[in-house]
Amino acid sequence: MDAEDRLLRPPTPSGFDASRAAERAADPTGWRYPDAVRDAVHQVIAERRDIRRFRPDPVPANVLQRILEAAHRAPSVGLMQPWRLILVRDVATRMEVRRLTQRERLRQADRFDAQAGQFLDQKIEGVVEAPLGVVVCCDHGDPGVEILGRGTIPETDVYSTACAIENLWLAARAEGVGVGWVSFYRPADLRELLGIPARVEPLAYLCLGWPDERPVRPGLESAGWGARLPLADVVMEERWRDDDAAPLLDAARGPNRIAAIAARDRSDQLIKPAGSLGALEALIERWAAITGAAPPPALRAGVLVCAADHGHIIHGTSLFDRDVSTQVAAATARSESAAGVLARQGGHTLLVADVGLARPTPPGVRDLKVAAGTADFLAGPALSPGQVDAALQAGADLAAELADDGVGCLAVGEIGIGNTTTAAALLCALTGADPAAAVGRGTGVDAAGLQRKRAVVRDALERHGAGLHVREALAAVGGLELVALTGAVLEATHRRLPVLLDGYATAVAALAATRLDPAVAEGVLASHRSAEQGHRLALDELGLEPLLDLRLRLGEASGALLALPLIAAAGALHREMATFAEAGVSGPR
């Protein structure tokens, strides 16, 4: 390519990461500081001390500014920056703080019995001696404002503020400034003294000033109060150290991080802005983590559709009777249903299996009938333990058959009148979800029908309980097609064959599989989010974002089949787009 034909790669804007994938791959340690700088950081950490005695000399404004800026550079979840710092210079205020701390110290002394004298020897004169007090507060803010990352763990604002305290302390040590943390006071007293509003929590009163001591060991260690534990006593591998702990997962079945990172590296080198393919880049990386490579541009799937009936429909949980399940299964096997048409059009291998239809198995459908439908779960368990085992094995055998045929992934679907009610009941039994949130309209019941479905699920949970072990839940309220798909998902993910979920029922089956083997979660993908409201709950439990949202309510693996061309297209882009180097794009980054 002639020089004039070469494209100049645009420079990286200021404030953005200028490193490239090839550079990071060639030198993974390239972000490391030089030895002298690194050693200085560790020295500051090792020599941080809690100072109790201070010189009266003021801390220069520029030094204090650097210390406060270090505190303000602390990490915070969702960049919420909840810390607020009150600088207390007034001597009268500091004297009142010392009075509050002295009073509380005397109240606490009796708790330490023989060590009470040592406790009282811990000086608090620094509250007045130090020329400056810093009250570090956590402003919890408006509870109605959503903060990224705080929804599940609301206390992250407190943890973030603790990081600001540590930053301040380490920066002060580097400047030679002493810090003493005073913890003998009642927060309500400090609130009143300093006018701190109710939504704000004072976490620390810190004394800052030039130290009138230079301890080589922590003060409490020198006083014999305690000693630092060996590192080995506080570090545990993988999980809490406990002789009764459950066995570890097989690491060999975890995600292939080397392949995933290689896929990410290639995405970074393609002639496009970094991250511009959005969710497709995450899809490619996840596929590589499962299989060891990006999706192939020509993707042939094994489409497994399991069919069964449900005993609870006698309570009006569906608009249709059991005959419809058999009719739809037969039409799918003849490639006349939506799933059949899409499978034929895409050149995929379709396998429809009867694991629990109430009527005889129709032509073209694989007969693996475990029972003629489930029992009514309001009258007793839907399935026996033996039927659960048989359905799990049937699903595993079907997935193994498709895998042995060389398919590139397993797309799963189901057929069964009433199975959205079963899926909702199983989701609630596994997770404790509210039936009002888990039960939807299914094939289109009216308002009265929706109330009937919810009442049936509530009654089932009252009879069998919620938060059940997965095998108990499958037996209590499961459906044969859902149990079979649970077995299929287990088998496919064990073989590192990606599993593409269809709608609500398949997501709940996959959730059951993860409860049997948590490693399964790494091998499943969500094709779409259906119109059934509980589907979102199930996907959230699985931690999956769907590729499509078309408001489908069809089932039969139709949503999964619609997503397959998108996956293949992502694979084609990843494999066939030119890199900057291949396209002759050069110049500054």
pLDDT (tens digit, 9 = 90+) per residue, 445-489?
888 888 998 999 999 999 999 989 999 999 999 999 999 999 999
Q: Is 582 one of the catalytic residues?
A: no
Q: How would residue 319 be classed by pLDDT, with cut points 50, 70 and 90?
A: confident
Per-residue tokens: 583: 């396209």
Q: CA angle, corner 569, sides to 252 and 306, nearest 5?
A: 65
Q: What percent of the chain has pLDDT over 90?
A: 64
Strand order across the beta sheet in which 301-308 lies: 366-367, 349-356, 301-308, 409-415, 499-501, 524-526
Window from 215-219, 389-393, 434-438 with minimum mean pLDDT:
215-219
232: which residues sit within 8 A by CB, 6+ positions away? none
* pLDDT, average across residues 126-152: 84
HSE-CB of 361 using CA atoms within 13 angstroms? 17
| 3-class DSSP string for 531-566 | CCCHHHHHHHHHCCCCCECCCCCCCCCHHHHHHHHH
53: which residues sit within 8 A by CB, 6+ positions away? 123, 125, 126, 129, 211, 212, 213
Question: Tell me, what's the pLDDT at 5?
Answer: 58
Q: How would residue 111 be classed by pLDDT, with cut points 50, 70 and 90?
A: low
Q: Which residue in 4, 146, 556, 576 is the catalytic one?
A: 556
450, 439 contact by CB (below 8 A): yes
d(CA 241, CA 69) in angstroms, rounded, equals 39
486, 512 contact by CB (below 8 A): yes
Residue 401 has pLDDT above 60, yes or no: yes
Window from 8-12, 177-181, 550-554 with minimum mean pLDDT:
8-12
580, 22 contact by CB (below 8 A): no
pLDDT in tens, 365-378: 999 999 999 999 99
* pLDDT, average across residues 118-135: 73
pLDDT in tens, 189-214: 899 999 999 999 999 999 999 999 89
The residue ranking higher by pLDDT, 391 or 219, is: 391
Q: How would residue 120 be classed by pLDDT, with cut points 50, 70 and 90?
A: very low
Question: Tell me, what's the pLDDT at 225?
Answer: 58
pLDDT in tens, 66-108: 999 999 999 998 888 999 999 999 999 988 888 888 777 666 6
d(CA 198, CA 376) in angstroms, rounded, equals 54
pTM over 0.75: no
pLDDT in tens, 25-45: 889 899 999 999 999 999 999
Question: Tell me, what's the pLDDT at 231?
Answer: 87
453, 421 contact by CB (below 8 A): yes
Beta bridge partners of 139: 200
**252-271 b/e (C-beta count within 10 Å ≥ 16 → b):** eeebbeebbbbbbebbbbbe
d(CA 137, CA 224) in angstroms, rounded, equals 32
Q: For residue 461, give the nearest of 496, 437, 497 by alpha carbon.
A: 437
Q: CA angle, corner 244, sides to 238 and 246, nearest 5?
A: 50
User: How does the average pLDDT of the chain come out, rounded?
Assistant: 88
Window from 284-288, 314-318, 357-361, 544-548 with minimum mean pLDDT:
314-318
273: which residues sit within 8 A by CB, 6+ positions away? none
449, 341 contact by CB (below 8 A): no
* pLDDT, average across residues 9-29: 81
420, 440 contact by CB (below 8 A): yes
Residue 241 has pLDDT above 80, yes or no: no
Pure H helices in 405-531:
419-431, 435-438, 447-464, 470-477, 480-494, 504-516
Residue 10 has pLDDT above 80, yes or no: no
* pLDDT, average across residues 270-297: 91
Question: Tell me, what's the pLDDT at 467?
Answer: 87
